[in-house]
Amino acid sequence: MAILENIRKRTTVLILIIGLALFAFVISGVFSSNDLGGGKVGSSVAEINGDEISIDQFRRDVEAYSRMAGPTASSMQLVNQVWDRQVRNTILAQQFEELGINIEQDQIINYIKTIPSYVQNPEFHNASGVFDENKFREAVADWKANNPGRYALWLQDEQAIIQNAKEQTYFNLIKAGVGSTLKEGELDYKLANDKVDIKYVRVPYTSIPDSSIAVTKKEIEAYINEHKKDYKQDRSRDLEFVYFEEKASLEDENAVKEEITKLLEDRVEYNAQKDANDTIKGFKGTADMIAFLDRNSDIKYDTIYKAKKDLPAKFADTLMSLEKGDMFGIYRDGDYFKVSKMMDRKANGTVKSSHILISYEGAQRANPEVTRTKEEAEKKAKELLAEAKKAGTVFAELARDNSDGPSAPQGGDLGYNQEGVMVAPFNDFTFSNPVGTIGLVETDFGFHVVKIDDKQDIVRIATLAREIEPSEETINTLFTEATKFEMETTSDKDFAVAAKESNFVVRPVNKIKEMDENLPGLSAQRAIVQWAFNEDTKLGEVKRFNINNGYAVVRLTAKYAEGLMSVEDASALVLPKLRKEKKAAQIIEANKGKTMESFAKDNNVIASTASALTMKSPIIPGAGSEAFVVGTAFAMDQGATSGLIKGDSGVYMLTVTKKEEAAKLDNYSTYANNLQASAAGRVNFAVYNALKEASTIEDKRATFY
């Protein structure tokens, strides 16, 4: 009975297992036959429309994402990415089940044929170099038998392929029902092309000071209740903190400088084994720079020659001007003190060049659309060479218009390259000729019209560097300060007062959400967020947290419950709207029955004009978007004058000076088709968002992360 009851629950895990089972039945008789179900499901991380999401499977997915994302993604970024994917897959899976959407073998194969990583893989190609589904099946069967790791990766892809193929089918069904009539096309055309000219007077709302408009708490509360959907809030918290950053003191910096200074000169050290003094060469005179920097520098010796652009920007000019053997420093570069020594220089060691590539059919990496022969390519290249050498020709424009290479949009610019980077014929030409030379070079890629734009020296520089770090004494002092501040503010002393007495800066953080991770000024601090949302953490409570580069003493200043915003929380949003409403009413009441001339004169404004206004672009110059005002103008007859109109930026009165209907077309199918294409393009995004909005989602991530 327990098993039957579990089946009845129709969990998302079960849905995915059914999907995989369908795939196995349809196509994985060749690809796979393993049992992917089973295992006791632990606690759920979410419930979506009644379907529970297993925390066990969720954690496995996060781990898999972690392996793909690498070390740059934070743990919460991974959790949120998996969450978004899981919510989407579950909601859509429920739709697939309700509609009975399944995927047949030919649909899966056809979907695989749209994935470049599969289609372009030679492993799945036949003798003609074309993707062969039979070769693909054989490869999967071979992975299963002989390569478990590769097969496991395929099983992950298999799930994604099933999901994506079902999504494609589902959204295509919806798109098939999206259409636009010729009448809708005609309306779209008229909205964009019917025009109206107006003369208008506008009294802006800014003409009445905000301070003169009284808005009561009851009015704000009534407005919120009338617009509940716009003033919903999630659970959130406000914090304030003082950051105690572990950074080097002036004494620490001077100590690092002193260490570097000692390493510059030779020094004498007693050698107990020899019972004699040894002279240890310093940075200035060492004959083995690699070994010296390995022992004494926080940045090792880089023997690669570098161009000016590869050197620290602030010091590049100075470093490039050094003669061989010269030194520069001590200088500060970021978190390091450095001394640099010029070891060697290669004159004109890097060349900046541009080219126009004329490829031909069969040339290396030639675009499949290129059909010219090699002879035709050579002829065209020679013609372009002659053109490029003419006085007044702009080489970059010639390259943009004619080059087959990927650098065409950049005017053929290839940037700076050191010797040996480019293919041999290209390399030899650019390094053997002076700046300004234009010539023709043939490579396996085609024919190149090459221009040598610039040449620069490259240098090899040795740098003795020491990182500027806080000393143990500095770190201990910081810990003492942070602990003392925490103890003071945990007792009766006010947080802001205590901070001010010690010249500490208090930083506020407002409306953090339960699944947030980054705090402004502190970066990723998930532990602080969890503490703030812990039910045992009381309002006003203070706690010290160890963070990457020091300590943060944090105080919880506000708690916000999920639901409708309070008057205090919403007032900043509602006040401008209510003030605008009251200003509009005040202006209209004061100017009832006036002509346009008296309306302008009495309010010290002048009449203006606006021409060629359309419904699709209801922008009034100097006033901004005014859809209601422009719409009113279109509803009026030419020569008619309106009453007072409440606009977005002020109260208007207008006269329609000209109305111009767009020329009638024989057929509006182009506009209807554009509307249909636009609507179809929004289907995937709009439909999923609508489904998500209508779903009941219980998010329990904060319990586990």
User: Phi/psi at 79 (nearest 5 deg)?
Assistant: -60, -45
- Portion of the chain with pLDDT greater than 70, in percent: 94
CA dihedral 77, 83, 89, 93 (to 10 degrees): 180
**Average pLDDT value over all residues in the chain:** 89
Please report the beta strands in 359-391, taking only residues with DSSP state E, as ranges in sequence order: none
Q: Among 39-48, 290-299, 509-518, whose mean pLDDT is lowest?
A: 39-48
pTM of the predicted protein model: 0.66
DSSP string, 336-361: EEEEEEEEEEEEEEEEEEEEEEE--T
305 and 459 Cβ atoms separated by less than 8 Å: yes
Q: Which residue has the higher pLDDT, 548 or 346?
A: 346
Q: For 171-191, how does the pLDDT look when each residue is reduced to its tens digit (9 = 90+)?
A: 999 999 898 999 999 999 999
CA dihedral 82, 87, 89, 94 (to 10 degrees): 160
Tokens matching residue 584:
């509009």
CA angle (251, 256, 262) in 5-degree steps = 125
Q: Is the C-alpha dihedral spanning 311, 317, 320, 324 positive or negative?
A: negative
Nearest alpha carbon to residue 571 among 236, 216, 238, 212:
216
Query: So what CATH class is 195-233+567-660?
Result: alpha beta
Q: For 309-350, how does the pLDDT look when each residue is reduced to its tens digit (9 = 90+)?
A: 899 999 999 999 999 999 998 999 999 999 999 999 999 999
Q: For 189-227, how does the pLDDT look when each residue is reduced to its tens digit (9 = 90+)?
A: 999 999 999 999 999 999 999 999 999 999 999 999 999
CATH of 249-469, one of 3.40.50.620, 2.70.98.10, 3.40.50.2300, 3.10.50.40: 3.10.50.40
pLDDT of residue 395: 95
Query: Once rounded to an integer, what is the mean pLDDT over residues 438-458?
Result: 95
Q: For 565-582, how does the pLDDT look when each residue is reduced to its tens digit (9 = 90+)?
A: 999 889 999 999 999 999
| CATH number of the 44-177 domain | 1.10.4030
